A = this chain, B = another copy of it.
């Protein structure tokens, strides 16, 4: 694919229009120092990586393929002269290369004292078009990719002083504490956007509605249900919580279910599938499993969660980031 007519270096970047039948998908995410990240817990490399990851997650949630990125970054004088910017771009490009995203432009400015980053990504849908939040119907089954609560657990570990070990490749087979903690920290610091899952769902139009879990399951399921004008029933026992989170939570007085329901930034995908299509779903994509956690209900029933014989209303409790 070589649809780039002109990249960085002119007044604007120029793209050949997409092939007929393929729509464009565009998203932007603003990251502000001291609001969205803290420099004392976030390496520049991770910051660059995450700036792109959150936008790729949005593109995946539309069932689209990410293609082009633009990056605006404002940094104070001291950072400008340091190695920070170089490390930041290395993190960005590490993820960009993996998913074939080309940086086509952006803007760089100085700031009085804080770092600000705005990442813009353009993607392309399959011929089936984008998957919206608004298509869920009563009877559809609700699925999530991966495990929930990891990023929130990682954030709490960071707040308690934990830092990732350098030169450590997180390995699922490792079970010792340091490696386990590293894996949770990286889920917060370098979240993995579910690009492969998004493409599978988009290409085969397997989902009736989809959203990425950036605010938390409770908030994002509410967003999807509001847009689709439906209710939902989630089975608490089916929510995929990482055994690591359960284990660490027990020792650190955290409630794993609360982390999984209300903790944000897991960047997993939540989608709804018509009963007839459930059998067509792959079990895993890129090694990431899929779990059915509930069912879409009529709007009149509201959004609820059942735990054993009890059922209660699932109120949005995630982190609201005021996204326009």
Scoring A residues 84 to 117 as 1 if CB is less than 8 Å from chain B, else 0, what string do you get? 0000000000000000000011111111101010
A222 at the interface (CB under 8 A from B): no
B24 touches A132 (CB 8 A): no
Protomer copies: 2
A130 touches B14 (CB 8 A): yes
A13 touches B27 (CB 8 A): yes
Stretch at the interface among A42-50, A120-128, A236-244: A120-128
Stretch at the interface among A31-39, A146-154, A272-280, A283-291: A31-39
A34 to chain B, nearest CB (A): 5
Residues of B near A311 (CB, < 8 A) are none
Alpha-carbon separation in the docked complex, A9 to B6 (Å): 30
B118 touches A10 (CB 8 A): no
A62 touches B10 (CB 8 A): yes
A178 at the interface (CB under 8 A from B): no
A16 at the interface (CB under 8 A from B): yes
Q: A10-B227, A70-B28 are in contact. Are A323 and B108 (CB under 8 A)?
A: yes
A212 to chain B, nearest CB (A): 6
A109 touches B36 (CB 8 A): yes
B59 touches A28 (CB 8 A): no
Residues of B near A212 (CB, < 8 A) are 11
In the complex, which range does the number of interface residues on chain A fall in?
35 or more
A11 touches B58 (CB 8 A): yes
Q: A17-B20, A35-B110, A35-B112 are in contact. Are A10 and B324 (CB under 8 A)?
A: no
Residues of B near A15 (CB, < 8 A) are 23-26
A159 at the interface (CB under 8 A from B): no
Scoring A residues 129 to 147 as 1 if CB is less than 8 Å from chain B, else 0, what string do you get? 1101110000000000000
A319 to chain B, nearest CB (A): 12
Residues of B near A123 (CB, < 8 A) are 12
Q: A116-B74, A324-B8 are in contact. Are A111 and B22 (CB under 8 A)?
A: no
Q: A11-B61, A12-B58 are in contact. Are A108 and B26 (CB under 8 A)?
A: no
Complex partner residue of A108 from B16, B23, B107, B324, CB under 8 angstroms: B324
Alpha-carbon separation in the docked complex, A323 to B106 (Å): 7
B111 touches A32 (CB 8 A): yes
Most buried by B among A15, A25, A118: A118
A19 at the interface (CB under 8 A from B): yes
Q: Nearest residue in B to A33 (C-beta to C-beta)?
A: B112
Q: Nearest residue in B to A57 (C-beta to C-beta)?
A: B11
A100 to chain B, nearest CB (A): 18
Which A residues are closer than 8 A to B by beta carbons?
A: 5-6, 8-36, 57-59, 61-62, 64, 68, 70-74, 104-112, 114, 116, 118, 120, 122-123, 125, 129-130, 132-134, 210-212, 227, 321-324
